[in-house]
Amino acid sequence: MYAVDLGEGAQLRPLEPWQAEEFLTHIDRARDFVDPWIPWATRSTDLDSARATLQRWADQQARDEGRIFGIWLDGTLSGGVMLFNVELDAGQFEIGCWLEPAAAGRGLVTRAVGRLLDYAFDERGWHRGYWKCRTDNEASSAVARRLGLRLEGTLRDAYFYRDVHHDTEIWAVLATEWRPVSR
């Protein structure tokens, strides 16, 4: 087991199926805050479904198609980040995040995503990372901006949530543009 120090009592660690109970407790606290942005929050409603969510991520990791990490703040799972939609041949990947309200406003997601970008570009040698978020998710857009990602465009009505279509922004950074965020 390993942990990456994010400062201020926070750590970034792998999130695995055996942690389903802790994950479910966290998602129950975070659900209303993250559900509009992370659709699998709605699907993790009991221990079996939480374990299944984490198992899907473990299966992706085994295929080298994605990874999920938790953010622990003072020993409590409070959010996380993930790499997914990995295209190994193209060296392209998507990054996502979520956080419960009690941990918001501390820069944890910015630091955690910065670490994932370091990993993707420096260790894996991948070429392009991108971030998608609804246009009304101002916190997510702000993280992308702080990390130096560029807004590439908006996909109109691309995200369907609770019977409503929402516009989606696409932010991206190339390995040649990436400059790690000061820690």
For residue 46, being part of any structural domain is answered with yes
Give the Å distances, CA to CA, from 24 to 19, 66, 137.
Answer: 9, 20, 24
Q: Which pLDDT tens digit goes with each residue over 110-123?
A: 999 999 999 999 99
For residue 132, being part of any structural domain is answered with no
Give the Å distances, CA to CA, from 144 to 3, 75, 87, 138.
Answer: 23, 26, 21, 10
155 pLDDT more than 80: yes
18 pLDDT more than 80: yes
The predicted pLDDT at position 183 comes to 41
Question: 70: Cβ–Cβ under 8 A, 6 or more apart, which residues?
Answer: 12, 13, 14, 15, 19, 23, 26, 77, 79, 80
For residue 8, being part of any structural domain is answered with yes
Q: Which pLDDT tens digit goes with each residue over 48-68?
A: 999 999 999 999 999 999 999
- At which residue do the structure tokens 């409603």 appear? 45
What backbone torsions phi and psi does residue 79 show, to the nearest 5 degrees? Answer: 170, -165
For residue 152, being part of any structural domain is answered with no
Q: What is the mean pLDDT of residues 103-108?
A: 94
CATH number for 37: 3.40.630.30
For residue 19, being part of any structural domain is answered with yes
Domain that holds residue 23: 4-126
CA 57 – CA 43 distance, rounded (Å): 14
Alpha helix segments (H runs only) across 72-174: 108-118, 138-146
- What is the number of structural domains in the chain? 1
For residue 50, being part of any structural domain is answered with yes
Q: Which residues pair with 80 in a beta bridge?
A: 70, 98
For residue 64, being part of any structural domain is answered with yes
